[in-house]
């Protein structure tokens, strides 16, 4: 289904009157994915971590290659590592699907030509480099992209389309995000349905 970028909710908690950057709030959830509150983004990732809602996007070209990104070096969490097409957190009250479409456009300058839900996965992944913890209830999405990425350099350092074999080679030789294999494996049934047996996923 076609998607278009969504806008962030106009939350008072996301505004700042003292000139400081607005606090980014995340939606805290229980083990069933039910919203139970909110927390500031960095505090939710401090050990031991607080379970919060997240999303992960996997976009493919017409040849069945996966678009992956290397996170910008200036990011405070997992800088300079490779990861899936896009990942992030919905604003409190924002639908995960809308957040996934919005953030993909913000980071990569493209909108998916197709985007579909691919289930959820719950995980707890400490990041050894930053010391932060990913306690996430993650909504998965798979889809297609037809336009060339135009990444925001503050968010994305590099992008590349890879086949399964090329991904395996890169994964063996370059650092990837702590959550990458967990979300990829959880999304594989939907990825195979999208790309077909010849895709090799």
Q: Which residues are catalytic?
A: 87, 136
**Beta-carbon neighbour count of residue 61 at 10 Å?**
14
What is the maximal distance between C-alpha atoms in the chain? 55
Rounded Cα–Cα distance for residues 37 and 12 (Å): 15
User: Which DSSP state fits 14?
Assistant: G
- List the beta strands (DSSP E) in the chain: 25-29, 35-40, 52-60, 66-71, 82-83, 86-88, 114-126, 133-144, 156-162
Strand-strand pairing, 133-144 and 52-60: parallel
Distance spanning both ends of the chain, measured CA to CA: 22
CA separation for the pair 115, 101 (Å, rounded): 8
């Amino acid at each position: 289904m076609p998607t278009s970028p969504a806008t962030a909710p106009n939350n008072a908690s996301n505004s700042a009157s003292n000139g400081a950057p607005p606090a980014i709030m995340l939606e805290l959830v229980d083990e069933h994915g039910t919203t139970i509150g909110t927390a500031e983004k960095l505090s939710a990732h401090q050990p031991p971590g607080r379970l919060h809602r997240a999303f992960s996007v996997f976009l493919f070209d017409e040849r069945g290659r996966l678009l992956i990104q290397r996170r910008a070096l200036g990011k405070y969490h997992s800088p300079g590592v490779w990861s899936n097409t896009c990942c992030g957190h919905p604003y409190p009250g924002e639908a995960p699907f809308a957040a996934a479409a919005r953030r993909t456009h913000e980071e990569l300058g493209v909108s998916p030509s197709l985007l579909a839900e691919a289930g959820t996965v719950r995980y707890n992944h400490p990041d050894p480099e930053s010391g932060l913890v990913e306690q996430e209830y993650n909504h998965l999405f798979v889809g297609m992209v037809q336009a060339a990425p135009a990444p925001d350099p503050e968010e994305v350092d590099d992008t590349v389309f890879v086949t399964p074999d090329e991904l395996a080679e890169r994964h063996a030789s370059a650092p990837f995000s702590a959550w990458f294999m967990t979300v990829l494996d959880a999304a594989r049934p939907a990825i195979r349905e999208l790309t077909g047996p010849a895709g090799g996923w």
